[in-house]
Amino acid sequence: MGLFSRLTGKQPEKKSSDDQLLFHTMICMAAADGVLEESEIATVEAFFLSLPEFRSLEFRSLLDNTNKLFNRHGGVAESVKELAGIESPAVRKKAFILAVDVALSNGDVDESEDQMLDAMQRILTVDDAFAGKVIEVLSAKYAQ
């Protein structure tokens, strides 16, 4: 038992897992404009179903946990700071890749999505060279 729990009788909040934060990354990008539409949820669910990290997890449970993070922080823009808790450098890169993929999957990247990507790049400590490569490759994926 640490000082906080001894003095308050409470245990510190459990840190979110990298898997939860990876999921949170995708939802933050989908909701960058402050609204999470059903079509955006469906897009994130398609990514969720394709990623090995989530094979033993439930989509709605992760979505509920992300909504709790939104509420705890007062919205999407503030909750993105939680991504700093991703411990694995590989997961940080993967989170950024997925964020760009989600942003591009619905067409043009708007100003709110661009600002969210900028914030995610800083929080995830992704360098410009890597970010540029990701954007170049995924832009080609979605080129029409």
65 within domain boundaries: yes
Tens digits of per-residue pLDDT, 85-103?
A: 998 999 999 999 999 999 9
Tens digits of per-residue pLDDT, 40-59?
A: 999 999 999 999 989 999 99
Helix (H) / strand (E) containing 8: helix 3-8
**138 neighbors 96 (Cβ within 8 angstroms):** no
Q: Which domain holds residue 122?
A: 15-141
Helix (H) / strand (E) containing 25: helix 18-30
35 within domain boundaries: yes
- Look up the CATH number of the domain holding residue 60: 1.10.3680.10
Q: How far apart are CA 103 and CA 114, in angstroms?
A: 8
Is the pLDDT confidence value at 14 over 60? no
7 within domain boundaries: no
**44 neighbors 30 (Cβ within 8 angstroms):** yes
**Model pTM score:** 0.86
3 within domain boundaries: no
